[in-house]
Amino acid sequence: MELSQSKLLSSLLLVLVLARPSGSLGQASPVSKFPSGGVILSPVQRLPTDSDRVIRDFVQLLHPDWDNAAWDLVITGKRSMNPNFGVDSWSFAVLEMKQYVLNGFPASTTPCSPVPCFSYPDVAGAKLLGRIYQRGSHVYAFVGERPEIAKVNTDLRQTLRLDSSLQDVQDRLAAARAHYLPSRDSELRKHLEAEPLFVKYGFHIRSLHFCRSTGPSDQERIAMFWSAQVFSARLQQRYLVTIEPFEADITGLLAVSKGDEAEVSCAP
């Protein structure tokens, strides 16, 4: 399966994924002490990874209201060769659950021929497309979006130019019924502080800006999103979070070091 996200993710989010991470969502793995006279090949023992559970738990934090419906989760990706410091990355899609039927066996007992037993799920109608980067059992980066929201955002981008004023952007967002306009930072701040992801990891918002940026593959259009720099006292880690302006979906998250904050953030 190949999950196309070119229409979903802005160039800034792609930059975020490529940025060097410095932490992850979750409790830090304990660092083993060097025993006297011992030789340590790796000071940190990597925990077994349940990728399905990591992704399910993360999606559940992003969209807790989906708990009352039946969904399928389709995952493809790669697992690192390095058992201690490697990074696993997964593309995933959340789909409406379908009742799959196993095709019958013919009299010759040759299973499912010429019709295959199973067909791979079609992700065209996905509720959410995303990509998660994890080390061990912890997420340190995420990019993704609901296709229905991404389409509204893309359609609006087609009506804007590089020289569009902030007031023009706000007027067009209002006409498109976006809930979090550039002038509504206080409302967005209050909304984010109540989000399950922010509550679970104790995110404190240190800055919040409405951003406009251009991507390398679309120089004539601008991307519109909110950027929040947050800090978790519980995890002692800084994060950069991006939020789309229509429903305030979290579309990107990256653990960053203090020196990297300015590089990966946007100018208001």
Q: List pLDDT tens digits, range 150-174.
A: 999 888 888 887 777 889 889 999 9
Asked if 137 and 125 touch (Cβ cutoff 8 Å), the reply is no
**C-alpha span between 143 and 7 (Å, rounded):** 12
φ, ψ for residue 28 (rounded to 5)?
A: -70, 140
> Which residues make Cβ contacts (< 8 Å) with residue 195, sequence separation at least 6?
250
In order along its 268 residues, the chain shows pLDDT tens digits of 544 443 433 433 333 333 344 456 654 444 433 333 333 333 344 445 577 888 888 999 999 988 777 788 888 888 777 756 677 888 999 988 765 555 555 555 555 655 666 566 677 888 999 999 987 777 889 999 999 999 998 888 888 877 778 898 899 999 999 999 999 999 999 999 999 999 999 999 999 999 887 655 545 567 789 999 999 888 788 999 999 999 999 999 998 887 776 666 675 5
Asked if 31 and 42 touch (Cβ cutoff 8 Å), the reply is no
What Cα–Cα distance (Å) separates residue 67 from each residue in 25, 58, 61?
A: 21, 12, 10
**C-alpha span between 199 and 207 (Å, rounded):** 17
Asked if 135 and 54 touch (Cβ cutoff 8 Å), the reply is no
- Residue owning tokens 């967002």: 173
User: Whole-structure pTM over 0.75, yes or no?
Assistant: no
Work out the end-to-end distance of the chain between its first and last CA atoms, rounded to an integer number of angstroms: 37
Q: Report CA torsion sign: 219, 248, 128, 125.
A: negative
Boundaries of every domain in the chain: 11-23+47-264
**C-alpha span between 267 and 137 (Å, rounded):** 33
